Amino acid sequence: MALVPDDGDDPLDDFEKTFVFPGRGQAKPAAWALDPRAHFALVCGARGCPPLQPRAFLPESLDVQLDRASRDALASPRHLNWDARTHALEASEVFEWYAADFGGADGALAFIRRYAPASVASRIQHGEAKRIERFIPWDWTLNQTPR
């Protein structure tokens, strides 16, 4: 299957929409469900993506590995920030793009509380952060190592 970019600007975004998470921004069939941790485990190779995990995903350790992938991603300022100046929670655009996979805004906040570093999770738990105030722009630049 050939990849044909829909807008010509972001081939990695087009690849992800076509092959990794089809249907972004579209209603999904009721029977279709995705573990939202997959958004932090399956990555497209752009700089904005979560870090690659050091091992292959295996059935006997998948749950632990998906937890780790989610925690590793949310530990990065590319995916989660608490802006101390404005007291605003900033999160990856993944939470906007795939809001339904997280169970909407409330589900996204619960997901973040579960997998975020303790300092951010505590702010959510104590009501300082009640919602995602801003979405962190995704960097679609190819993540490559210079030769």
Instruction: Evaluate whether residue 24 is within a structural domain.
Output: no
| Alpha helices (H) along the chain | 11-15, 62-74, 94-97, 99-102, 104-115, 118-125
Does residue 56 lie within any of the structural domains? no
| Full-model pTM | 0.79
Domain span including residue 94? 63-138
For residue 96, being part of any structural domain is answered with: yes
Q: What is the pLDDT of residue 147?
A: 55
Is 44 inside any structural domain? no
Q: Is residue 114 part of a domain?
A: yes
Of 122, 120, 135, residue with least CA distance to 82: 120
Residue 79 forms part of a structural domain = yes
Do the Cβ atoms of 70 and 112 come closer than 8 Å? no
In a domain, 41, yes or no: no
Q: How many domains, in total, are found in the chain?
A: 1
**Is residue 22, in this structure, part of any structural domain at all?**
no
pLDDT for the residue numbered 20: 64
Ordered per-residue pLDDT tens for the chain, 147 residues = 333 334 456 676 776 666 666 665 555 555 457 789 999 998 878 888 898 888 899 999 999 999 999 999 999 999 999 999 999 999 999 999 989 889 999 999 999 999 999 999 999 999 999 999 999 999 988 877 565
